Amino acid sequence: MGSFRPDANILRKHPNAITQQQLDEKSRFVGTLLGAAAGEALGAPCEDQGAREPSAVPREITGGGIWAAGEPTDDIELTLALLRSLVARGGLDLDDVARGYLRWFQGRPKDVGNLTRAALENLRAGEPPTQSGAIAWEDSGRKAAGNGSVMCCAPIGLLHVKSLDGLADDAAAASRITHADPRCVGGCIGVATAIAWLVRGGKDADEAAERAASAAGAVSDEVRPVIERGASRKPQDLRVDGHDRGFVLHTVELAFSALASVDTLEDGIVAVVARGGDTDTNACVAGALLGAKLGKAAVPERWMAKLKAAPELTSLGEQLYRQL
């Protein structure tokens, strides 16, 4: 019985054939978005409940407070607005993204961060998206560094899966629509860089964190050590609750700790939610990183069935992937 010998010229004979590598990459691409949505949905009902043991965190998406099960909060609504624009425009168009953000804002959403609200009010008043976030930051006394832009920056990383050129510029520009503090900008650059690296096949979380820290460090001296420290710890080692629970550096550190130390997406999201604080955003960012590493199949089916944004996220993700 003869042995099978793969044809080395198969792709030349069939240039439109889809390889397993491409299938895996597409799974990680879409998994980034679905992981973010799963994290947000599991974390939203747990806000304001404080830290607890992971065993005490509900592992089902049931909804709570003002949220129905799987209903998107501002994290995924803004992610969708950015993603729709990237697909429609074939790249980052700040004016178009700003219009999408304003359409969402004009619908009187239930949950909007203070800095995001101030920046969007500036947009509504006619300020350009290159200045809306900066004005809000100046008005805060240059102190506000919330996690309102890092929570929705995943599509920027996906946009640059094929080439990292321009990623830092796009992530910075997208962040500055609402969050101009260098720590927010650096956080977006770091998270987007890690996502791009993981989706394109860099399965080593340590290397992804190193690249993220290096890219973020070019903008903020504070973000680089936070990513490095997060990648060397476990979620249970970190304290992110308290009066500054929406601080961007808390979110970034916790997300990278989950990426580096947890084997499954479900366990990672649960571990992040267990730390308390801004649970929906922290888990959203962690879920995006874990989805970029582990792929779509890592999101539990019982969660997928309850994620109301899943069909649109999947469709838009697949469209953006084809455009790259």
Give pLDDT, residue 204: 84
In terms of Cβ atoms closer than 10 Å to its own Cβ (0-12, 13-18, 19+), residue 19 is exposed
Give pLDDT, residue 36: 97
Considering only CA atoms, which of 203, 204, 184 is closest in space to residue 281? 184
Considering only CA atoms, which of 201, 288, 195, 193 is closest in space to residue 21? 201
Q: What distance in Å separates the CA atoms of residue 43 and residue 41, rounded to the nearest whole number? A: 6
Q: What is the mean pLDDT of the chain?
A: 92
Q: State both tokens at 102.
A: 């304003």
Helix, coil or strand: residue 22: helix
Give pLDDT, residue 299: 97
- Residue range 152-181, pLDDT digits in tens: 999 999 999 999 999 999 999 999 999 999
- Would you say residue 18 has pLDDT above 80? no
DSSP 8-class letter at 118:
H
Residues 6+ apart with CB under 8 A from 2: none
- pTM score: 0.93
| Cross-strand pairs, 146 | 247
Helix, coil or strand: residue 247: strand
Give pLDDT, residue 1: 45
Give pLDDT, residue 5: 59
How much is the average pLDDT of 137-150? 96
CA distances from 23 to 2, 44, 63, 167 (A): 29, 31, 33, 23
59 phi/psi in degrees, rounded to 5: -95, 15
Q: With bands split at pLDDT 50, 70 and 90, how would you rate the model's confidence at 73?
A: confident
Give pLDDT, residue 245: 85
DSSP output for 80-102: HHHHHHHHHHTS--HHHHHHHHH
